[in-house]
A and B are shown apart, each in its own frame.
Chain A
Protein backbone atom coordinates (compact mmCIF):
# COMPACT_ATOMS: atom_id res chain seq x y z
CA UNK A 1 0.00 0.00 0.00
CA UNK A 2 1.25 3.43 -0.88
CA UNK A 3 1.46 5.38 2.32
CA UNK A 4 2.14 8.75 0.80
CA UNK A 5 4.76 11.16 1.95
CA UNK A 6 4.77 13.23 5.09
CA UNK A 7 5.68 16.87 5.19
CA UNK A 8 6.00 19.33 8.02
CA UNK A 9 3.89 22.40 7.31
CA UNK A 10 5.47 25.49 8.83
CA UNK A 11 4.82 29.21 8.81
CA UNK A 12 7.08 32.09 7.85
CA UNK A 13 5.31 35.43 8.23
CA UNK A 14 1.86 35.03 6.65
CA UNK A 15 2.59 32.08 4.37
CA UNK A 16 3.04 28.37 4.82
CA UNK A 17 5.94 26.26 3.63
CA UNK A 18 6.69 22.55 3.74
CA UNK A 19 9.70 20.45 4.61
CA UNK A 20 10.05 16.69 4.04
CA UNK A 21 9.59 15.02 7.40
CA UNK A 22 12.47 12.65 6.66
CA UNK A 23 14.77 15.66 6.97
CA UNK A 24 13.47 16.72 10.35
CA UNK A 25 15.34 15.66 13.52
CA UNK A 26 13.66 17.79 16.14
CA UNK A 27 11.34 20.72 16.77
CA UNK A 28 12.50 22.79 19.69
CA UNK A 29 12.77 26.29 21.07
CA UNK A 30 15.77 28.43 20.38
CA UNK A 31 17.68 28.94 23.57
CA UNK A 32 21.27 29.92 23.94
CA UNK A 33 22.08 30.61 20.35
CA UNK A 34 25.68 31.73 20.45
CA UNK A 35 26.76 34.42 18.04
CA UNK A 36 29.54 33.38 15.75
CA UNK A 37 31.32 36.11 13.77
CA UNK A 38 32.54 33.55 11.25
CA UNK A 39 29.00 32.92 10.02
CA UNK A 40 27.24 35.09 7.46
CA UNK A 41 24.32 37.28 8.45
CA UNK A 42 21.89 34.60 7.28
CA UNK A 43 22.80 32.72 10.45
CA UNK A 44 21.73 33.67 13.94
CA UNK A 45 24.64 31.80 15.46
CA UNK A 46 25.29 28.31 16.75
CA UNK A 47 23.23 26.06 18.95
CA UNK A 48 24.21 23.02 20.95
CA UNK A 49 22.37 19.92 19.86
CA UNK A 50 23.23 16.54 21.34
CA UNK A 51 26.65 17.74 22.35
CA UNK A 52 27.48 19.32 19.01
CA UNK A 53 27.37 22.93 17.86
CA UNK A 54 25.23 23.34 14.78
CA UNK A 55 24.70 26.50 12.72
CA UNK A 56 21.27 28.14 12.94
CA UNK A 57 19.83 29.70 9.79
CA UNK A 58 17.22 32.45 9.97
CA UNK A 59 14.80 31.11 7.36
CA UNK A 60 13.18 34.52 6.90
CA UNK A 61 16.45 36.18 6.14
CA UNK A 62 17.35 33.44 3.67
CA UNK A 63 14.09 34.06 1.78
CA UNK A 64 14.29 37.84 2.24
CA UNK A 65 11.04 37.94 4.19
CA UNK A 66 10.91 40.88 6.56
CA UNK A 67 10.34 40.48 10.29
CA UNK A 68 12.01 39.18 13.38
CA UNK A 69 13.69 35.76 13.41
CA UNK A 70 11.24 32.95 14.11
CA UNK A 71 10.80 31.51 17.57
CA UNK A 72 10.66 27.84 16.65
CA UNK A 73 13.86 25.98 15.92
CA UNK A 74 13.87 23.02 13.56
CA UNK A 75 16.84 20.72 13.52
CA UNK A 76 17.22 19.51 9.96
CA UNK A 77 19.49 16.96 8.31
CA UNK A 78 21.26 18.25 5.26
CA UNK A 79 24.00 16.72 3.18
CA UNK A 80 26.37 19.21 4.73
CA UNK A 81 25.43 18.13 8.23
CA UNK A 82 22.88 19.15 10.81
CA UNK A 83 21.35 22.56 10.51
CA UNK A 84 19.12 24.67 12.70
CA UNK A 85 16.31 26.54 10.98
CA UNK A 86 14.39 29.33 12.70
CA UNK A 87 10.76 29.50 11.61
CA UNK A 88 7.71 31.25 13.01
CA UNK A 89 5.59 28.21 13.81
CA UNK A 90 4.92 24.62 12.93
CA UNK A 91 1.38 24.03 11.74
CA UNK A 92 0.98 20.30 11.28
CA UNK A 93 2.22 17.18 9.59
CA UNK A 94 0.66 16.70 6.19
CA UNK A 95 0.44 13.19 4.87
CA UNK A 96 -0.22 13.22 1.17
CA UNK A 97 0.13 11.23 -2.01
CA UNK A 98 0.81 14.40 -3.95
CA UNK A 99 4.01 14.61 -5.88
CA UNK A 100 5.47 18.09 -5.54
CA UNK A 101 4.85 20.15 -8.68
CA UNK A 102 8.07 21.66 -10.04
CA UNK A 103 8.40 25.44 -9.87
CA UNK A 104 7.19 26.81 -13.23
CA UNK A 105 9.79 28.31 -15.52
CA UNK A 106 10.25 32.04 -15.49
CA UNK A 107 9.46 32.49 -11.81
CA UNK A 108 12.94 32.69 -10.42
CA UNK A 109 16.55 32.43 -11.36
CA UNK A 110 17.15 28.71 -12.02
CA UNK A 111 20.40 28.88 -10.05
CA UNK A 112 18.42 29.46 -6.86
CA UNK A 113 17.59 26.13 -5.26
CA UNK A 114 15.58 27.18 -2.26
CA UNK A 115 12.47 25.23 -3.23
CA UNK A 116 12.09 21.70 -4.46
CA UNK A 117 8.52 22.11 -5.57
CA UNK A 118 4.99 23.17 -4.75
CA UNK A 119 2.32 21.32 -2.77
CA UNK A 120 -1.38 21.92 -2.33
CA UNK A 121 -2.48 22.32 1.24
CA UNK A 122 -5.97 23.35 2.38
CA UNK A 123 -6.84 25.11 -0.87
CA UNK A 124 -3.55 26.98 -0.84
CA UNK A 125 -0.18 26.45 -2.38
CA UNK A 126 2.80 25.84 -0.15
CA UNK A 127 6.40 25.98 -1.23
CA UNK A 128 8.47 22.94 -0.42
CA UNK A 129 11.77 24.06 1.06
CA UNK A 130 14.96 22.43 -0.13
CA UNK A 131 17.17 22.22 2.94
CA UNK A 132 20.26 21.90 0.73
CA UNK A 133 19.41 25.00 -1.26
CA UNK A 134 18.85 27.19 1.79
CA UNK A 135 22.49 27.05 2.78
CA UNK A 136 24.61 29.84 1.36
Chain B
Protein backbone atom coordinates (compact mmCIF):
# COMPACT_ATOMS: atom_id res chain seq x y z
CA UNK B 1 0.00 0.00 0.00
CA UNK B 2 1.36 3.38 -0.99
CA UNK B 3 1.15 6.12 1.61
CA UNK B 4 2.36 9.67 1.96
CA UNK B 5 5.16 10.44 4.33
CA UNK B 6 6.58 13.66 5.62
CA UNK B 7 10.36 13.57 5.70
CA UNK B 8 12.25 15.70 8.17
CA UNK B 9 15.78 16.08 9.37
CA UNK B 10 16.82 15.82 12.98
CA UNK B 11 20.38 15.72 14.30
CA UNK B 12 21.74 15.15 10.84
CA UNK B 13 19.54 12.21 9.97
CA UNK B 14 16.34 11.72 7.99
CA UNK B 15 13.07 10.51 9.43
CA UNK B 16 9.68 9.92 7.94
CA UNK B 17 6.25 9.94 9.43
CA UNK B 18 3.12 8.67 7.75
CA UNK B 19 0.57 11.35 7.07
CA UNK B 20 -2.83 10.36 8.32
CA UNK B 21 -4.63 13.66 8.68
CA UNK B 22 -3.94 17.33 8.57
CA UNK B 23 -0.60 18.53 9.76
CA UNK B 24 0.77 21.95 10.47
CA UNK B 25 4.36 23.05 10.28
CA UNK B 26 5.28 26.12 12.30
CA UNK B 27 8.49 27.85 13.21
CA UNK B 28 9.62 26.76 16.64
CA UNK B 29 9.14 29.56 19.15
CA UNK B 30 9.30 27.67 22.40
CA UNK B 31 6.62 26.17 24.57
CA UNK B 32 5.19 26.36 28.05
CA UNK B 33 7.29 24.02 30.18
CA UNK B 34 5.51 21.59 32.48
CA UNK B 35 7.47 20.83 35.66
CA UNK B 36 7.50 17.09 36.49
CA UNK B 37 6.67 16.07 32.93
CA UNK B 38 8.52 13.26 31.18
CA UNK B 39 12.06 14.25 30.26
CA UNK B 40 11.27 14.15 26.53
CA UNK B 41 8.34 16.57 26.86
CA UNK B 42 9.41 20.05 25.87
CA UNK B 43 6.18 21.68 26.98
CA UNK B 44 2.77 22.74 25.72
CA UNK B 45 1.72 25.05 22.94
CA UNK B 46 -1.61 26.66 22.23
CA UNK B 47 -2.44 26.71 18.55
CA UNK B 48 -5.81 27.56 17.04
CA UNK B 49 -7.73 26.66 20.12
CA UNK B 50 -5.99 23.38 20.83
CA UNK B 51 -3.30 22.59 23.34
CA UNK B 52 -0.55 20.35 21.99
CA UNK B 53 2.12 18.59 24.02
CA UNK B 54 5.48 19.05 22.32
CA UNK B 55 7.93 16.17 22.26
CA UNK B 56 11.66 16.38 21.95
CA UNK B 57 12.30 13.55 19.51
CA UNK B 58 16.03 13.48 20.09
CA UNK B 59 15.39 12.55 23.69
CA UNK B 60 12.40 10.35 22.94
CA UNK B 61 14.29 8.28 20.40
CA UNK B 62 17.22 7.83 22.76
CA UNK B 63 19.56 9.68 20.41
CA UNK B 64 21.94 10.68 23.13
CA UNK B 65 24.90 10.81 20.78
CA UNK B 66 25.12 13.78 18.46
CA UNK B 67 24.10 12.06 15.27
CA UNK B 68 26.04 9.66 13.05
CA UNK B 69 29.78 9.12 13.12
CA UNK B 70 31.67 11.89 11.42
CA UNK B 71 29.31 14.50 12.70
CA UNK B 72 31.27 17.69 13.19
CA UNK B 73 30.94 20.45 15.73
CA UNK B 74 29.64 22.78 13.04
CA UNK B 75 26.89 20.38 12.10
CA UNK B 76 26.06 19.95 15.73
CA UNK B 77 25.66 23.70 16.16
CA UNK B 78 23.36 23.69 13.17
CA UNK B 79 21.40 20.80 14.58
CA UNK B 80 21.03 22.65 17.86
CA UNK B 81 19.35 25.53 16.09
CA UNK B 82 15.93 23.89 16.27
CA UNK B 83 13.73 25.29 13.58
CA UNK B 84 10.31 23.83 13.15
CA UNK B 85 7.54 22.14 14.95
CA UNK B 86 5.27 19.66 13.22
CA UNK B 87 1.77 19.43 14.69
CA UNK B 88 0.06 16.12 14.07
CA UNK B 89 -2.82 13.97 15.05
CA UNK B 90 -2.55 10.26 15.69
CA UNK B 91 -5.51 8.27 17.00
CA UNK B 92 -7.32 11.49 17.89
CA UNK B 93 -4.37 12.61 19.97
CA UNK B 94 -2.86 15.96 19.10
CA UNK B 95 0.84 16.49 19.58
CA UNK B 96 3.85 18.27 18.20
CA UNK B 97 7.42 17.26 17.54
CA UNK B 98 10.40 19.52 17.12
CA UNK B 99 12.55 18.94 14.07
CA UNK B 100 15.51 20.69 12.50
CA UNK B 101 14.00 21.03 9.05
CA UNK B 102 11.09 19.65 7.11
CA UNK B 103 12.54 18.19 3.94
CA UNK B 104 9.73 17.01 1.69
CA UNK B 105 6.74 14.79 1.19
CA UNK B 106 7.22 11.41 -0.45
CA UNK B 107 5.05 8.49 -1.43
CA UNK B 108 6.26 5.12 -0.28
CA UNK B 109 5.25 1.54 -0.12
CA UNK B 110 4.44 1.04 3.54
CA UNK B 111 7.44 -0.63 5.18
CA UNK B 112 6.78 -4.00 6.72
CA UNK B 113 7.34 -4.55 10.40
CA UNK B 114 10.39 -6.70 9.60
CA UNK B 115 14.12 -6.59 10.17
CA UNK B 116 14.20 -3.61 12.54
CA UNK B 117 15.53 -4.62 15.91
CA UNK B 118 17.90 -3.49 18.59
CA UNK B 119 19.07 0.00 17.95
CA UNK B 120 18.97 1.53 14.54
CA UNK B 121 22.17 3.56 14.49
CA UNK B 122 21.55 5.18 17.81
CA UNK B 123 17.78 5.38 17.51
CA UNK B 124 15.67 3.18 19.76
CA UNK B 125 14.29 0.61 17.29
CA UNK B 126 11.02 0.22 19.10
CA UNK B 127 9.93 3.52 17.56
CA UNK B 128 11.11 2.62 14.06
CA UNK B 129 8.56 1.01 11.77
CA UNK B 130 10.87 0.51 8.87
CA UNK B 131 13.66 1.95 6.81
CA UNK B 132 13.10 3.51 3.41
CA UNK B 133 15.74 4.41 0.88
CA UNK B 134 15.31 7.47 -1.24
CA UNK B 135 18.06 8.98 -3.39
CA UNK B 136 20.62 6.81 -1.59
CA UNK B 137 19.61 8.22 1.73
CA UNK B 138 18.20 6.21 4.53
CA UNK B 139 14.93 7.40 6.02
CA UNK B 140 13.84 5.93 9.31
CA UNK B 141 10.07 5.62 9.33
CA UNK B 142 8.82 6.33 12.84
CA UNK B 143 5.93 4.76 14.63
CA UNK B 144 4.27 7.73 16.27
CA UNK B 145 1.61 5.63 17.91
CA UNK B 146 4.29 3.99 20.01
CA UNK B 147 5.99 7.25 20.58
CA UNK B 148 2.93 8.56 22.34
CA UNK B 149 2.91 5.77 24.86
CA UNK B 150 4.89 6.73 27.87
CA UNK B 151 7.72 4.58 29.03
Interface residues in chain A, defined as those with a beta carbon under 8 Å from any beta carbon in chain B: 15, 63-65, 101, 103-109, 112, 114-115, 118, 120, 124-125, 127
- Given known pairs A120-B46, A125-B46, the reply for A109 and B93 (CB within 8 Å) is no
| C-alpha spacing A125/B46, complex, angstroms | 7
Q: Across the interface, which residues of A come within 8 angstroms of B35, CB to CB?
A: 63-65, 114, 127
| C-alpha spacing A15/B53, complex, angstroms | 17
Please tell me if the beta carbons of A114 and B93 are within 8 angstroms of each other in the complex. no
Minimum-distance CB pairs A-B, first 6: A63-B35, A125-B32, A108-B37, A104-B53, A107-B53, A107-B37
Asked if B57 is at the interface (CB within 8 A of a chain A CB), the reply is: no
Q: List 18 A-B contacts (CB under 8 A).
A: A15-B32, A63-B36, A64-B36, A101-B51, A104-B44, A104-B94, A105-B53, A105-B93, A105-B148, A106-B41, A106-B53, A106-B93, A107-B34, A107-B37, A107-B38, A108-B36, A108-B38, A127-B34
Please tell me if the beta carbons of B38 and A104 are within 8 angstroms of each other in the complex. no
Closest to A115 in B: B34
Asked if B15 is at the interface (CB within 8 A of a chain A CB), the reply is: no
Contact of A114 among B32, B36, B45, B55 (CB under 8 A): B36
Interface size on B, residues (CB 8 A): 21
- Given known pairs A104-B51, A104-B52, A125-B46, the reply for A109 and B32 (CB within 8 Å) is no
Please tell me if the beta carbons of A107 and B32 are within 8 angstroms of each other in the complex. no
CB distance from B55 to the nearest CB of A (A): 8
Closest to B148 in A: A106
Q: Across the interface, which residues of A come within 8 angstroms of B55, CB to CB?
A: 106
| C-alpha spacing A101/B49, complex, angstroms | 11
Please tell me if the beta carbons of B34 and A108 are within 8 angstroms of each other in the complex. yes
Please tell me if the beta carbons of B150 and A106 are within 8 angstroms of each other in the complex. yes
Please tell me if the beta carbons of A106 and B32 are within 8 angstroms of each other in the complex. no
Please tell me if the beta carbons of B44 and A106 are within 8 angstroms of each other in the complex. no
Please tell me if the beta carbons of B51 and A118 are within 8 angstroms of each other in the complex. yes
Query: Among residues 25 to 43 in chain B, which have CB atoms less than 8 Å away from a CB atom of chain A?
Result: 32-38, 41
